[in-house]
Amino acid sequence: LNLRQVGQLARHMGAAEGDADSWWRSTLGLPGAVVGHIRAFKREQTMQPFTDDHLPPTSRQIFLLLQENGALSVHELATMMGVGHHAVVDHCEVLFAEDLIKTREEQSVVLLLCCEPTAA
């Protein structure tokens, strides 16, 4: 998405366009990540409870695997899910954007792990 489209999407989702520039820059316009940023922003502003039912199916599967198993590498997730590494990374963008996962480095391996969702 371009900057104008991010602003339009924010407006359509009921968020102010004021943060569109930072959302666009931090996501490089990746639609799923932009939507994730807008959802996290709205959740924080309205104190809406978090639910994972709105996540894309593959992103939700990653989120649930991390909740169940703790920290996992991209390789471990890809193996568990039977998908490629790039698919895992692409779907993690949504989770990063919504502040649902973070990274931690252990012995030169970057691990993904769940965060506490904002506003509950």
In the predicted model, residues of the chain with pLDDT beneath 50 are 119-120
Note the pLDDT of residue 85. Answer: 93
Q: Parse the chain into domains and list their residue ranges.
A: 3-46, 57-114
Q: Dihedral sign for Cα 24, 30, 31, 37, please.
A: negative
Q: Dihedral sign for Cα 39, 84, 26, 99, please.
A: positive
Q: Domain 57-114 belongs to what topology?
A: Arc Repressor Mutant, subunit A (1.10.10)
pLDDT in tens, 61-95: 999 999 999 999 999 999 999 999 999 998 898 89
Instruction: Answer whether 0.75 is exceeded by the pTM.
Output: no
- List the beta bridge partners of residue 73: 111
Residue 82 in tokens: 């039977």
Task: Measure Cα distances from 72 to 20, 46, 59 in Å.
Answer: 32, 32, 14
